[in-house]
Structure 1
Amino acid sequence: MENDVLATPGHLISLAARGFARLSEVRLKPLGFGTGQLPVLVALQDGTASTQRDLARFAKVEQPPMAQMLARMERDGLIERTPDQQDRRSSHIVLTIAARARMPNAIETLFEGNREALDGFTEDETKQLIAMLTRLIANLDQISSAGQTPD
């Protein structure tokens, strides 16, 4: 088992992430949202970010893919941009009224999918899984920001 690359946490977490992404995509599409848009939607909804640069940082993606995503979201009527009065090169981004109206259903859909995926897990197991994944992500972020590579 030690040498089974398919039984490593990295591979299993990757499979789980892809499974969650497929589930979310199928369930969010009828609501007019895509899974990749979730960090942007959440950040705009709760006021965490309002510029392309802030959204890219929040979603942990580079600027060009964020610009493409925002262009699609604007085309699809999910966001609106207004010029920044202090910096004409920048714009403030907000959710449209239509996107705001659909967000509660989208969020409930995601929570429902998580509940279904965690069927059979106790509340303590779910909390422990979340804590371990949060620690794992922090470790991975630290490794990649330090530019470390495995020996």
Structure 2
Amino acid sequence: MTTESGFRREESLGYAVNLLGRLFARALDRRLNRHGVALGQFPILLVLWEQEGITQSEIARRLDIEQPTVANTLKRMERDGLVSFSPDPGNRRQVLIGLTDKGRALQSPLIAEAQAVNERASQGLSAADSERFFALLRNMSANLSDLSE
């Protein structure tokens, strides 16, 4: 169905990418829930598996999400025994976020779940197609990233 402006949702790149993102999220959410982890917690875990002992604001910056969202998610993660908070010895006003043993132990199984979703989504694509698609996504993200500033 075409609108008066000629816009067709089925042919909109933004619509297609949004739909794909929601499908990825739904598939990953089901897999993460098996481990007691919410979808919103996964990106924070990814950052902390890369580097522990960073601030909430640094996590928000790396993920490009709002600090209040990170704060609320971190509170739930602390409640769930995934992260811990400790004062920054170099700056008493800051708090550093670290992983608990439970949070560290989830790295391998959760990464495996994410890889399984990625593999399922890319079934039927050649390695070259997957690499090209990823390069295109990075390019489009770069094109739009300066618009959010």
Instruction: Tell me, yes or no, whether TM beats 0.5.
Output: yes
Whole-angstrom CA distance in 2 between matches of 1:92 and 1:12: 38
Question: Deviation at 1:58?
Answer: 0.9
Whole-angstrom CA distance in 1 between matches of 2:64 and 2:53: 13
Q: Which runs of 5+ in 1 are unaligned?
A: 146-151
Matched, 1:34 2:38: yes
> What corresponds to 1:108 in structure 2?
112
Runs (4+) off by over 2 Å: none
User: Does structure 1 conserve the Cα–Cα contact (< 8 Å) formed by 2:57 and 2:67?
Assistant: yes
Q: Determine helix, strand or coil for the equivalent of 1:83.
A: strand
> What corresponds to 2:103 in structure 1?
99
> What corresponds to 1:87 in structure 2?
91
Q: Which runs of 5+ in 2 are unaligned?
A: none
> What corresponds to 1:6 in structure 2?
10
CA RMSD after TM alignment: 1.5
User: Does structure 2 conserve the Cα–Cα contact (< 8 Å) formed by 1:43 and 1:49?
Assistant: no
Q: Determine helix, strand or coil for the equivalent of 1:31.
A: coil
TM-score normalised by structure 1 residue count: 0.90
- Number of equivalences: 145
Q: Determine helix, strand or coil for the equivalent of 1:57.
A: helix
User: Does structure 2 conserve the Cα–Cα contact (< 8 Å) formed by 1:52 and 1:66?
Assistant: yes
